[in-house]
Structure 1
Amino acid sequence: MKKEILRTIIYFTLTVLAVSYLIFRYFVMTAPSDFHIEGLVPAAFSVIFYSIASIHELAKCHGKYFWTAIRCSIFHPTSKVYVSLSYLLQIKTSGDNFYFLVKGNKIDQYQPVGGVFQIVGSKNIEKDWNAQLKTDKTNPRDLRFYVQASKIPEIIQWFKSEKDRETGVWREFREELIDTGVVSEEIFKTTNVEFLRTEECILKKETRFDNEKYHTLIYKVFRIELTPEQENEFNKLKNNKKFTEDYAFVKRKDIESECFDEHKKRIGQHTKYIL
């Protein structure tokens, strides 16, 4: 990506120089020589057309991330960015359309089952991206860290490649629901998971943590396909009690308003991504 950004800067600079020359030629010069008329003018137009076409091809190649790369590399290269790369699981009971949430263990709110992906293999983000880790002692490989904005395009490309990182969603499901005894391990020996979409919040202005200016949050959203037996397990929980200190069953309107139980219980902002 760095080479493409450098090329873009070069093309843009050449275009500005060529346009500046043409303005000078047609609005300032009164008696241009043949060298200008037959040499420099055609050359300037050629530079403009070639540069614009090249920038267009680069933009088309990188799609929606092209402007992100420009922002990160040119406008905010040294800004501190908090990065979180995670997944969310949509668990919904059929018929009544209740969404199942769990109580967050770091923030006093209810949110979808899920969490940050983890590094696998020998990937060293501290060395590769000069990242500052934001992890706890029990999860040292979590993909939650700080970097300079100039590294964001490379991080996005790496994340999309799925190389050297966790790709499954079973770990958090087990930790939050089975290991805690919320649902039966026997009934949830296997689960079918459907990928729904990716939700991104890139270079969002934030000052939640010390010295950071922006957040870059990427969520992979999945839906758990419940078998009749598994759905019955969740229905038993719901019929027994719609919310406890460990979990809650909420409606769409609750998620949209980010609260339930007469505004006493908070729902995390990112929960809307499972709707």
Structure 2
Amino acid sequence: MSKELKRFFGYAIVLFIAVGYLVYRYFYLSPVTDFHREILVTCAFAILSTCALGIYETIKCQGKYFMTAVRCSIFIPNKETYVSLSYLMRIKLSGAERYFLVKGSKVDQYQPVGGVYKIIGNKDIYKEWEAHPKSDKKNPDDLRFFVKAKHVPEIIRWFKSRKDRETGVWREFYEELLETKIVSQENFQTIRAEYLCSHENILSKQNRFKSEQYHTLIYDIFQIELSPEQFEELNKLLAKKTFTKHYAFVTKDEIEKECFNNHKLKIGQHTKFTI
């Protein structure tokens, strides 16, 4: 349990004691001595206001993840949870109203360019959070691992701080589009990526993996602002062929249906987050 939650429950216990005393004083205690009337009641109200403020500040500090923190600390602290922290790129050709996707390397589907973030620096998630990788995991720096649920609030807080991890999208863009020669080095020496939003699925009950009981997925969504040269190159790809075994240009409707080419080809479910 985090220090903030310990503080919260400490405040809550003391607050209930103060409220209990005031109920006893005003509804049950008789006769009332000056000690109760002048000293204990004053102290109880002072404690009440201090604890209420402390509880408010603790909840404010946790923000929208407060109930998640309570749930992880009290109800499911030792449940196995799969965590994946990643980013997706929206590459849209305005005018044609087509979204540019690539073929997945592990799953037989088309999906947005993107992938999991990597750790940068000396942070040891395996020691700090008792994390362990997926069985097929080859890169220990990937932010995709299993942990006990009690560590999830701290992981989210760390991820949001943007410390000791990747924050840009160039690496996956380069690996999926330049190394594969789908687009040219000449026109895509750099890209301009604008952060749009994040999609979160915190502690959903899943059993996709053998030992997993919950999923915690966070996707950062970035819009790739194409230069005139980049836009022209992708337009030429579209004119040449709508899809190949490496990439596809699909419509919003096809993304929502999660398939295209007369339902023969699959689109990843998470692609919807980019439209």
Unaligned runs of 5+ in 2: none
CA–CA distance in 2 between the matches of 1:193 and 1:30? 67
Corresponding residue for 1:79?
79
Corresponding residue for 1:119?
119
Question: What is the CA-CA distance between 1:263 and the residue it aligns to?
Answer: 2.7
Give the superposed CA RMSD: 2.1
Question: What is the CA-CA distance between 1:40 and the residue it aligns to?
Answer: 4.0
- Helix, strand or coil at the partner of 1:63: helix
Cα deviations by residue, 1:35-83 (Å, 9 ceiling, x for unpaired): 5444444443433332222111222233222232222222222121111
- Helix, strand or coil at the partner of 2:93: coil
- Helix, strand or coil at the partner of 1:208: coil
Question: What is the CA-CA distance between 1:267 and the residue it aligns to?
Answer: 1.8
Corresponding residue for 1:91?
91
Matched, 1:230 2:230: yes
CA–CA distance in 2 between the matches of 1:66 and 1:84? 20
CA–CA distance in 1 between the matches of 2:54 and 2:249? 52
Corresponding residue for 1:201?
201
CA–CA distance in 2 between the matches of 1:136 and 1:227? 38
Amino acid at match of 2:46: S
Question: What is the CA-CA distance between 1:155 and the residue it aligns to?
Answer: 1.1
Corresponding residue for 2:66?
66
The number of residue pairs the alignment matches comes to: 274
Task: Provide the identity percentage.
Answer: 57
Distance 1:135 1:237, change over 3 A: farther
| Contact kept in structure 2, 1:135 and 1:141, CA below 8 Å | no
Corresponding residue for 1:254?
254
CA–CA distance in 2 between the matches of 1:32 and 1:72? 46
Question: What is the CA-CA distance between 1:26 and the residue it aligns to?
Answer: 4.8
Cα deviations by residue, 1:11-40 (Å, 9 ceiling, x for unpaired): 11222333334444555x363442544444
CA–CA distance in 1 between the matches of 2:181 and 2:99? 19
- Helix, strand or coil at the partner of 2:3: helix
CA–CA distance in 2 between the matches of 1:67 and 1:32? 43
* TM-score under structure 1 length normalisation: 0.91
Corresponding residue for 1:130?
130
Amino acid at match of 2:67: W
| More divergent stretch after superposition (107-116 vs 253-262) | 253-262
Matched, 1:162 2:165: no
CA–CA distance in 1 between the matches of 2:147 and 2:50? 35
